[in-house]
Chains A and B, each alone.
Chain A
Amino acid sequence: SQQGEEDPQALSIQEGENATMNCSYKTSINNLQWYRQNSGRGLVHLILIRSNEREKHSGRLRVTLDTSKKSSSLLITASRAADTASYFCATGPDSNYQLIWGAGTKLIIKP
């Protein structure tokens, strides 16, 4: 079942700009994860944030989590053409095994 809903469904920005994607979910979670999928490839894990964390950074990525609003955002700063991909959020309600996935945001970075 789909729990996470990414917003927007598609985003097109100029190279160098920042890209922000949002994810909302319905039930309580243990953790929330973001993945990237390049066209024709498998998903790659980007970052995991636990329910007791509010913000996490990894390189040009910044993830925030607001459990009161059941939402998360992924910010990619100084975007590059190579960031063009689909981005998925997945929530882990308890253990690691049962991730529930959103439908993804398609990000296009224009050179």
Chain B
Amino acid sequence: DTAVSQTPKYLVTQMGNDKSIKCEQNLGHDTMYWYKQDSKKFLKIMFSYNNKELIINETVPNRFSPKSPDKAHLNLHINSLELGDSAVYFCASSQEGRALGNGYTFGSGTRLTVV
């Protein structure tokens, strides 16, 4: 019954590999996000999808590609992983407009370590 679930929780991989992180929300929210949190705890928005449509695409390397097959899923694929990609990646969802008072619901994070 987890509201926003992302897998895997931990991911250790070598430089140059390609990996994916999956996210699913069962809240019926229409907007989903990917955030990167660095070692200093700064949260940086990467992408946002509203009803499967990309609405925010911050300056991230094009090695990162989000995919939203439906409004309940937003996956993140990363090609040619680099050491600097090591971070915690959070998926989140929200309902734009009404129910604004509930803010964002976050997943528990995926700790990516590139070696």
Contacts and interface: CB of A to CB of B under 8 A. Distances in A.
B48 A42 contact: no
A109 B17 CA distance: 41
A42 B41 contact: no
B12 to A, nearest CB: 16
Nearest to A31: B100
Contact of A43 (B45, B97, B104): B104
A37 B69 CA distance: 29
How big is the B interface, by class?
Answer: 20 to 34
Given A35-B103, A41-B109, A48-B100, A97 B42 contact: no
Interface in A90-110: 95-99, 101, 103-104
Given A2-B42, A97-B50, A97-B56, A42 B103 contact: no
A86 interface: yes
Interface of A: 2, 31, 33, 35, 37, 40-45, 48, 86, 88, 95-99, 101, 103-104
